[in-house]
C-alpha cells in the first residue's frame, strides 16, 4: 500500500476557517483606517484652501476672496497661472475640481456679487456618509477648521472647532 502525500480535507477546512477569522478581524479595521485617512486628507485640504484664499486676497485686495476653487487652482497645461487669466495655481487640480480623497468640497465668497469680497466659506462633505468619511468639515474667514457629524450645507462658523 502506498502512502499518499498531501493534506486531508479536515486540515484544509481548518486553514480556511483560520483565514476567515483573521479576515473578519482585519477588514473592519482596514475600513476604519481608510475613513480616518480620508478625514485627515479633507482637513488638510480645507487648510490648504484657507491658505490659498488668504494668499489670493493678500495678492489681489481689489478682488478679494475667490468664489470658486477653480480660480485658485491650475485647470491644466493649456491655461497659464496668473490671476489675470483667473488661474492662481495655489491649489492642486483635484482640489480645484472639488473632489478629493472621498470628499466633495464646496464654498463661496461673501458678500456675493460684491467687489472686493470680504469673506469666504468652505465645506467638505463625504461622498458617501460612513463609507468615505464620517464627519463633515468647514471653515469661514477666521480660518478655524470646524466639524459636524452630519452633512454641512453652509458653514455658520458656530460648529465645533477641530482640536
DSSP of the chain: -PPPPS--HHHHHHHHHHHHHHHHHHHHHHHHHHHHHHHHHHHHHHHHHHHHHHHHHHH-TTTBS-SSGGGGB---TTS--BGGGTB---B-HHHHHTEETTEEEEEEEESTT-SSB-EEEEEEEESSBTTTBS-EEEEETT---EEESSPPSS--S-SEEP-
Work out the pLDDT band at 22, boundaries 50, 70, 90: very high
Per-residue pLDDT tens over the stretch 81-121: 665 555 778 998 889 999 999 999 999 998 877 789 999 99
Query: What is the domain partition of the chain in residue ranges?
Result: 9-161
For the chain, give the percent of residues with pLDDT over 70: 91
Per-residue pLDDT tens over the stretch 118-142: 999 999 999 998 899 999 999 999 9
Amino acid at each position: 500500500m502506498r502512502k499518499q502525500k498531501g493534506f486531508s480535507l479536515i486540515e484544509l477546512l481548518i486553514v480556511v476557517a483560520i483565514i476567515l477569522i483573521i479576515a473578519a478581524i482585519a477588514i473592519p479595521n482596514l475600513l476604519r483606517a481608510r475613513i480616518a485617512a480620508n478625514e485627515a486628507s479633507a482637513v488638510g485640504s480645507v487648510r490648504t484652501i484657507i491658505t490659498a484664499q488668504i494668499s489670493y486676497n493678500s495678492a489681489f485686495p481689489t478682488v478679494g476672496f475667490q468664489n470658486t476653487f477653480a480660480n485658485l487652482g491650475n485647470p491644466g497645461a493649456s491655461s497659464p497661472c496668473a490671476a489675470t487669466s483667473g488661474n492662481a495655481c495655489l491649489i492642486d487640480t483635484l482640489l480645484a475640481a472639488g473632489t478629493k480623497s472621498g470628499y466633495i468640497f464646496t464654498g463661496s465668497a461673501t458678500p456675493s456679487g460684491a467687489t472686493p469680497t470680504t469673506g469666504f466659506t468652505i465645506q467638505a462633505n463625504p461622498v458617501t456618509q460612513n463609507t468615505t468619511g464620517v464627519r463633515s468639515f468647514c471653515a469661514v474667514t477666521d480660518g478655524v477648521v470646524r466639524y459636524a457629524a452630519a452633512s454641512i450645507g453652509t458653514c455658520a462658523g458656530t460648529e465645533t472647532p477641530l482640536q
